[in-house]
Structure 1
Amino acid sequence: MRAIRYIFLCFYLFFFCTELNAQQLEWLEVEPGIWKTTIGNPEQYNLLTASGVVPYHEGLVRLEKSSFPLSKSDITAKVVDGKTYLKFPLDKTEQLFGFGLNFKTVNQRGKIMELHVDHYNGSDNGRTHSPTPFYVSSKGYGIFINSARYLKVYAGATVQRDSKNPPKVQDRNTDPDWNPHPYSDGVEILVPAEGVEIFVMGGPTAMNAVQRFNLFNGGGCLPPRWGLGFTQRMERLTDADGVYKEAMAFEEKGYPLDFIGLEPGWQSKSYPNTFEWDKKRFPEPEKMVKELLEKNIRLNLWINPYVSPDAPFYKRLFPYTASHTVWAGVVPDLNTDSARSLLFGALEKNKVSIGISGYKIDEVDGGDGYLWPDLATFPSGISAEQMRQTYGLLMQRYTTKLYQDRNVRTYGLVRGSNAGGVSFPYVIYNDYYNHQDFITALINSGFAGVLWTPEVRASSNPEEWVRRFQSNVFSPMAMINAWASGTKPWTFPEVAPIIKEFALLRMQMMPYWYSEFAKYHFEGIPPFRATNLEQGFQNITPVKETKNDNLEENPYAKAITREIKDQYMAGENLLVAPMFTGQKSRTVILPKGKWFDFYTGKYVGNGEVITTIPGLEKIPVYVKDGGIIPMTKPILHAPKASEKIDIEFRYYGSKPGIYQLYDDDGETYNYEKGEYSVRAIKISKINNKLVGSISVAQKGKPNSINKITYKMMTP
């Protein structure tokens, strides 16, 4: 009996002490529709402090008001044994999106992940280029965990014994529908720290929650106009003569080109790097940059941050580096002023200072086989784990500052990011090369607060080349990355006319892309995002319909409640449905509302599943009813700051349309001082005649519009 009492006492003390560790959460509205709570003793170094971003308050104020979207009593948190345990409620029909840049899945409910910066290696297990600790619910709210640690996530994959909504108990011996993964009513997250900050993003829609997250992280980046043009990255050991020849070939063949990317060979030594021009391959870099700029072509330089003993600043940098090396190069501690001054000083001198447009920042993601280990130490005292989670953020932050200090915008590439990176002008890329998964990543980027490019490198046949190129044109960065392959737009002569048509289409659509990126910055709306964020997909549940006296599932309702990972929204008005190698036809799920073919204006459907056979010459693209697409003439380079362009406003459908056309100088940060304009375009079809108007240009505000025309696309 005494032994039984002792055992009971031990159990009582264990559970009593555990409950004592549970914390009563107090929520404070820190921005409109955003609430914060603090558990335990949060670490001072986190994703927001690493990125240095501040909320874009003006944008948040303009959003629809939101009340706290969850039952506060159903959110629980406790600190046990130096770790923080979090649980958020989950309804039975709720879908979850986010948890970073995933490549194979969009709906993350039921997943178990460790959010860990790494190169993507084929599995949606949390190890990815941007493991953003933010998720969005189909019920219209978001959760952001502000921690720079490796977080363990159980996204509706665990069942607590005291669950308010426990799963049905099943007998595997007799129940043929026995499920090894019982229903879970919660999202649980383990933070390996003695406390953390939590932010709840209100709705009322999932899109509103995404907007609040982006605006809270500074608002999306607004690239320079030239960044939305076309870029060609050259082979690894290209020299100056090769650069000139490349630029000349694009011009002679009539292909657009706005910036050229130089790979590791621009440096005297790389892996690890000297950050010095190779004098044999590039004897006069300043002259080369100047001459290319005169042709409206910019240069972007590849780097990774690992410093060679032959770098001129190596010895001075050495005391401010990590205990472990990468490729025998030292790792600068970017949380020290001295390391930042030396590294970014090298990137400024004779690079940014002579007109280099930006950087491609490689190898700040992983993997474990070459990056610093978790047992490495840094002079700043920041742990190796926290540095792994934030190194890409730090590189983006301080390279961006080089350009901000000159009041010149940049646009580049990066391999690693995280929450806090929304406002940085960088696009993620990787070496994983699956076209279908690239499109899924493009969809997920809208939930992760990052931009992603389904870049084109090489292809085994002309069909694959065309299909990859077409979807790349409808993405944040239109790019051929030929660092290893040497491919050109005209590599497959038999399809070169198709490639040229789409390259020029990218340039024609620049007014549209630029206006959509302005919405990313000022409103937090991702320019490329999931179709389930579209209003026509909201509040639709599976229903039954009568057909031939039998009850059958509505195929449309069934389609939109499954995972949609091969079509996406491109800006306000376009739905893009890429084709993949070997496909002759594909199905497209149209949101509620009338949709029209982008190329012909022909009506295609309304809230239904359609089948399209576009041929090799087209990528399926659809425009919503009343959609307006501003287009310019085919051009080879982005317009200069003072250059005026003609714009044709293409109108689709019959519903009265309105579009907000954004304008600024396209090159500087003066828009942050209010030096921009937004002009309302209104178009209606009255008695089958088009009636269009544009609001008057404000005096003293940017106005790059020359001649205006309106075109009725729908017969």
Structure 2
Amino acid sequence: MMRLSKILTFLIVSCCGIVTAANAQGLNWTEVAPGVWKTVVGNPDEYDLLKAAGVAPKVEALAKIGQAAFPLPESDIAGQVQGGKTALRFPLERGEQIYGFGLNFQSVHQRGKILRLHVDHYGGEDNGRTHAPVPFYVSSNGYGVFVNAARYIDVYAGAAARIDSENPPEARDRNTDENWTSRPYSDAVEMLVPAAGVEVYVFAGPTPLDAIRRYNLFNGGGPLPPRWGLGFTQRVHKLYTAEQTIAEAKAFEEKGYPLDFIGLEPGWQSKAYPCTFEWDKGRFADPEKFVQELKGMGVKVNLWTNPYVAPEASIYDEILPYTASHTVWVGAVPDLTMPKAQDIFWSAFEENHVDIGVSGYKIDEVDGYDRYLWPDVATFPSGVSAEQMRQTYGLLVQKQSTRLFRERNTRTYGLVRASNGGGTSFPYVIYNDYYKHEDFITALVNSGFAGVLWTPEARASKTGEEWLRRMQSVVFSPMAMINAWSSGTKPWSFPEVAEEVKAMAILRMQMMPYWYSAFAKYHFEGTPPFRAMNLEEGFTQDQSAATLADSQVNLETNPYAEAVRREVKDQYMAGEYLLVAPMFTGQTSRKVILPQGRWYDFYTGEFVGGGEVITVTPGLEKIPVYVKDGGIIPMMAPMLHAPKAGEKVAMEIRHYGEKPGTYRLYDDDGETFDYEKGEYTWREVVVERRSNGKLRGSISKAERGMPNTFGKVSWNFMTN
């Protein structure tokens, strides 16, 4: 007998607005790329996340993952339009866990959550209002779901139980049953989209990581930053002059600290909040000379800005007809969906910045704070709603600013405050004003589920211990950044740990071949360079909910006992082989969960365990890092700046453990988009055991006529 829920899905009840022939016939799924299916419910908005991002899928790369069957029972997926809104329902099995729904800072497990996915600053609670509220989730069962709507989407992630469910929760008596819970089991993810239709995509696995790879490749693959973007960066005080900035760059050189690009904060502009996008000639009398002088020192320039146009800006009168009905800090808000607005706006950036050698941007305040961003009652001349514009403004500024550099065949790498579904390929890292170290690491864990990059930046600290612990995390992240816009902090500001900080910064540079290859695999294969332990093969944990009984809580303060789920949110995988377990202020030891297999200490090569929980006491100078058996870590000679195009560097290739291993080492010119024309190589690194029991390493030869950054190669067998 057909389930009542399915019958209701098919009913056409005109008085309630439940119409569309598609609903009456069920959902029709079309495979639009290998392992990727699409359906349409109702009449979707013309403007959505994928249209805003405007990125083409990497179909050939998707095909390499392989074909797969549709991963869910189609009959258990429902979609219907009711009252001008679209309701969606996807099944969940018992024991199934789900991850994703954007850049969350405090939780990894999302089953049981109720969220409203809304671009905003992060306000300290995982409620869906965040910098990248990506409407994509992935299941522990090995599939992913993406809702392509530029709307504030309500999510009930296994948080509601239908009366007609085939797998209903058991009704319990709270008076006598300690297993009673205020969050009964739910067998579905349900979403409500405030639009009369929506596109939905399903991504096959077979593993959760495969589903994420398909999602990333469908959205263009991850960004491939320039090599210098993976070096070290310092953002200077907001009112620094050209002379002070150059002096700071010289201090880095003299003290032996790496530096690849400097970020200028608001004071470089003649007016900010709102912005003119023009140089302050009092602090920067000759901007081009300033940029070129830093370039001669091996340091590039990144400029802070937000997109709100000051009345004093030279483009103000011209762009005004293409701006919103409401302002931000009394600045005009360009309608960046309109070609004319784009031309006027970005021409100012081209003329004032890019043409004189500026290498990238930090684009601020495109996320939220309702008290200053445009309200939802605002109108835009294109007809795109204020809600849709808020959900996509971060995508628009990333796409359009990147185009400035692509037209010059030069890569960029920058910072942005907002992104969303479809934005995987943009060369931007998210940051914010929040500053809890532990939550920064959880955000880094979750970034791999959302197709975004996140930096646990360091700004200031109360003690040398805190400073060193934050800097250690920064080194093992997508952007190694000190953001001293307010504090003026330098890497050497705490003398008691200055040498340890320098050692970590130099380690970042030594590991550049590993990081660069990890990002190449993100770009070409869709594998996030930083990702949750849940995606690592051999990682197991109890995914069940541990429910508090009445006897374990204070019922006066908590009358509804909440379920507590065990999560691993303070350690993560970095690249192909590394497990990183940051330490936080006040900790002298911590527990680390090691997946199945044998794992080795990154610094010494010693065996530490496998398939178990270990307690480590690393000392202040080290962040715990472990390498899986057979792991190969390519490292280069220590340098203060990233290698330039054509520059060769000596290589040390490390091997850990007892097993033979293989590694694909990526190389290109490190600066241009010529890799898109095939000008790149994958060098095959192999470690095998000879007949005498000794390990031997080899690396394939460089291809004639292709980029070759690697000079003399030495081998370091860390465990033998």
Q: Shorter-chain TM-score: what band?
A: over 0.9
Shift of 1:684: 2.3
Contact 1:654 1:684 in 2 (8 A): no
Contact 2:29 2:37 in 1 (8 A): yes
Map 1:143-222 → 2, pairs under 5 A: 143-222=145-224
2:615 aligned with 1:591: no
2:566 aligned with 1:562: yes
Letter of the 1:396 counterpart: Q
Letter of the 2:113 counterpart: K
Cα distance in structure 2, aligned partners of 1:423 and 1:522: 11
Letter of the 1:476 counterpart: P
Aligned partner (choices 670, 690, 704) of residue 699 of structure 1: 704
Shift of 1:696: 1.9
Cα distance in structure 1, aligned partners of 2:697 and 2:108: 39
Contact 2:19 2:81 in 1 (8 A): no
Aligned partner (choices 658, 661, 677) of residue 657 of structure 1: 661
Aligned twin of 1:709: 714
- Deviations along 1:108-140, one digit per CA (max 9) or x if unpaired, are 000000000000010000000000000000000
2:248 aligned with 1:246: yes
2:298 aligned with 1:296: yes
Aligned partner (choices 347, 369, 375) of residue 345 of structure 1: 347
Aligned twin of 1:142: 144
- Deviations along 1:522-566, one digit per CA (max 9) or x if unpaired, are 000000000110011269889xxxxxxxxxxxxxxxxxx931000
Aligned partner (choices 558, 575, 582) of residue 578 of structure 1: 582
- Deviations along 1:474-506, one digit per CA (max 9) or x if unpaired, are 000000000000000000001001000000000
Shift of 1:164: 1.2
Cα distance in structure 2, aligned partners of 1:625 and 1:193: 50
Shift of 1:324: 0.2
- Deviations along 1:236-259, one digit per CA (max 9) or x if unpaired, are 000000011001100000000000
Aligned twin of 1:681: 685
Alignment CA distance shift 1:172-1:317 (3 Å): same
Map 1:76-475 → 2, pairs under 5 A: 76-475=78-477
Shift of 1:171: 2.1
Consecutive unaligned residues of structure 2, counting only runs of 5 or more, are 1-10, 545-564
- Deviations along 1:367-426, one digit per CA (max 9) or x if unpaired, are 101000000000000000000000000000000000000000000000000011100000
Aligned twin of 1:667: 671
Shift of 1:294: 1.4
Shift of 1:670: 0.5
Contact 2:516 2:666 in 1 (8 A): yes
Map 1:601-612 → 2, pairs under 5 A: 601-612=605-616
Cα distance in structure 2, aligned partners of 1:227 and 1:634: 16
Shift of 1:15: 10
Contact 1:33 1:65 in 2 (8 A): yes
Letter of the 1:389 counterpart: Q
Letter of the 2:638 counterpart: P
Aligned twin of 1:507: 509
Contact 2:571 2:581 in 1 (8 A): yes
Shift of 1:16: 9.9
Alignment CA distance shift 1:248-1:19 (3 Å): closer
Letter of the 1:247 counterpart: A
Shift of 1:44: 1.1
Contact 1:677 1:701 in 2 (8 A): yes
Letter of the 1:206 counterpart: P
Higher mean displacement: 681-690 or 154-163: 681-690
Alignment CA distance shift 1:163-1:19 (3 Å): farther
Shift of 1:695: 1.2
2:630 aligned with 1:626: yes
Shift of 1:689: 2.3
Shift of 1:65: 2.5
**How many corresponding residue pairs?**
686
Alignment CA distance shift 1:476-1:112 (3 Å): same
Alignment CA distance shift 1:262-1:539 (3 Å): closer
Cα distance in structure 1, aligned partners of 2:326 and 2:288: 35
Aligned partner (choices 519, 524, 527) of residue 525 of structure 1: 527
> What is the DSSP-based 3-state SS (H/G/I as helix, E as strand, rest coil) of the residue aligned with 1:537?
coil
Cα distance in structure 2, aligned partners of 1:148 and 1:17: 24
Cα distance in structure 1, aligned partners of 2:63 and 2:275: 45
Map 1:636-651 → 2, pairs under 5 A: 636-651=640-655
2:537 aligned with 1:535: yes
Aligned partner (choices 55, 59, 78) of residue 53 of structure 1: 55
> What is the DSSP-based 3-state SS (H/G/I as helix, E as strand, rest coil) of the residue aligned with 2:355?
helix
> What is the DSSP-based 3-state SS (H/G/I as helix, E as strand, rest coil) of the residue aligned with 1:593?
coil
- Deviations along 1:606-638, one digit per CA (max 9) or x if unpaired, are 111001000001000000000000001110000
Cα distance in structure 2, aligned partners of 1:475 and 1:404: 25
Cα distance in structure 2, aligned partners of 1:48 and 1:176: 47
Contact 1:218 1:423 in 2 (8 A): yes
Cα distance in structure 1, aligned partners of 2:225 and 2:141: 32
Alignment CA distance shift 1:405-1:673 (3 Å): same
Alignment CA distance shift 1:355-1:204 (3 Å): same
Letter of the 2:676 counterpart: E
Cα distance in structure 2, aligned partners of 1:478 and 1:423: 20
Cα distance in structure 1, aligned partners of 2:174 and 2:543: 30
Letter of the 1:649 counterpart: I
- Deviations along 1:180-238, one digit per CA (max 9) or x if unpaired, are 11110000000000000000000000000000000000000000000000000000000
| CA root-mean-square deviation | 1.4
Q: Percent identity?
A: 66
Aligned twin of 1:496: 498
- Deviations along 1:147-184, one digit per CA (max 9) or x if unpaired, are 00000000000111111111101122332322111110
Aligned twin of 2:3: none
Cα distance in structure 2, aligned partners of 1:19 and 1:326: 39
Q: Calculate the TM-score normalised by the size of structure 1.
A: 0.94
Letter of the 2:633 counterpart: I
Higher mean displacement: 681-690 or 151-160: 681-690
Cα distance in structure 1, aligned partners of 2:141 and 2:540: 10
Letter of the 1:207 counterpart: L
Contact 1:112 1:152 in 2 (8 A): yes
Contact 2:689 2:695 in 1 (8 A): yes
Alignment CA distance shift 1:302-1:19 (3 Å): closer
Contact 1:286 1:350 in 2 (8 A): no
Consecutive unaligned residues of structure 1, counting only runs of 5 or more, are 1-11, 543-560
